[in-house]
Amino acid sequence: MTANPFFPLDEMNTESDDTTMMVFPQVDQSIYERRRQMVDTVVDYKEMRMRYSCAIKEVRTKFDVLNSEFNVRYQRNPITSINSRLKSSTSIMRKLDSKELSFTLENVEKYLFDVAGIRVVCSYVDDIYMLAKALAKQDDITVLKEKDYIRNPKPNGYRSYHMIVSVPVFFSDRTKNMAVEVQIRTIAMDFWASLEHQLKYKQEVPNQQEIVRQLSECAEQIASVDKQMWQVRQQIEMSEDIPTKEEILLEKLSRIDIAINE
Ligand code: GTP
Ligand code: MG
């Protein structure tokens, strides 16, 4: 045993060199082993959450880049907001329960695809498809699943474009492909979905049927307004005069001053 200047020899347990015995002097080895396994699992779970959180950052950056590109090239932002969330541990446990799966890290990574979620809100419907296509064609993105609830709305009226993508995340010792759920929708669709979501969490709502009917009606009206807004924007864009060479040059010059979103 080497002398430690901070612990004089007479104060140390000179019986053993085993540091574990110093930490848990009274603990039986089997109990210690179980504790160790539990701590390992907790640390691994925390690491897994960190990996999903990094995957969200990767995908979010991809949308930020597309928004900046559009801002500089066409002077408009297709994205009005981006929200992301990491599924809570309680929700992860509930979802595994509903699939009759035990709570293991392997099951989370193999069977749950919405641990990392990102919601992109746009002004116009055509931007949704443009963004979905731009994301899907990126070299490091693999689309695992796509659901077009805009062309095929849910019976309740829900509309959104859903994708499950796999993105590589580069860590110091390895690269992990992580699944991220992406929802792309218009401001109006988002408005509708947040109100409808409230209904799901209410146990007993009087006039439930009437509320469902009204929500379905709102969804139709929203879809019609979304379509009209897009058509109006197209008409405005098409009616713009054909610029002269001088105007094109001046317009290009003016883009230099556009602030790039950071
Ligand atoms: P989940 O098990 O709920 O994740 O559904 P799923 O695996 O069948 O996937 P889906 O793509 O249908 O839905 C994924 C997510 O989209 C949900 O977790 C909600 O956030 C959203 N979503 C889907 N349907 C509705 C709906 O009818 N209303 C609202 N408000 N949100 C919905
Ligand atoms: Mg979900």
The CATH number of whichever domain residue 169 belongs to comes to 3.30.460.10
* 9 within a domain of the structure (yes/no): no
Whether residue 4 has pLDDT greater than 90: no
Domain count within the chain: 1
What pTM, to 2 d.p., does this model score?
Answer: 0.84
* 22 within a domain of the structure (yes/no): no
| Per-residue model confidence (pLDDT) at position 57 | 98
| Per-residue model confidence (pLDDT) at position 219 | 98
**12-to-1, 21, 22, 26, 137 alpha-carbon distances in Å:** 10, 12, 9, 16, 63
* 55 within a domain of the structure (yes/no): yes
Please report which ligand is nearest the Cα atom of 147: 1
* 20 within a domain of the structure (yes/no): no
| Per-residue model confidence (pLDDT) at position 249 | 79
d(CA 105, CA 102): 9
Confidence band (pLDDT; 50, 70, 90) for 25? Answer: low
Average pLDDT in the 17-26 region? 58
Beginning with the edge strand found earlier in the chain, give each strand of the sheet holding 142-148 in spatial order: 79-86, 116-122, 175-186, 161-170, 142-148
Please report which ligand is nearest the Cα atom of 119: 1
* 12 within a domain of the structure (yes/no): no
Q: What percent of the chain has pLDDT over 90?
A: 68
* 83 within a domain of the structure (yes/no): yes
Pocket test for ligand 1, best of 85, 97, 158, 198 (most atoms within 8 A of CB): 158
Please report which ligand is nearest the Cα atom of 91: 2
Average pLDDT in the 8-23 region? 50
pLDDT tens for each residue of 82-139: 999 999 999 999 999 999 999 999 999 999 999 999 999 999 999 999 999 999 999 9
Ligand 1: lining residues by beta carbon, under 6 Å? 114, 147, 154, 156, 158, 162, 183, 193, 196-197
Ligand 1 atom index nearest CA of 181 = 14
Q: How far is the CA of 71 from the centre of ligand 1 (A)?
A: 31
- CB 57 within 8 Å of CB 118: no
* 227 within a domain of the structure (yes/no): yes
Q: How far is the CA of 208 from the centre of ligand 2 (A)?
A: 23
**206-to-82, 97, 193, 199 alpha-carbon distances in Å:** 34, 30, 20, 11
| Per-residue model confidence (pLDDT) at position 5 | 44
242 or 187: whose pLDDT is higher? 187
Ligand 1 atom index nearest CA of 154 = 27
Give the CA count within 13 Å in the CB-facing half-sphere of 133: 6
Q: How far is the CA of 114 from the centre of ligand 2 (A)?
A: 5
Q: How far is the CA of 107 from the centre of ligand 1 (A)?
A: 20
Ligand 1 atom index nearest CA of 183 = 16
Domain range for residue 191? 27-254
Confidence band (pLDDT; 50, 70, 90) for 261? Answer: low
* 13 within a domain of the structure (yes/no): no
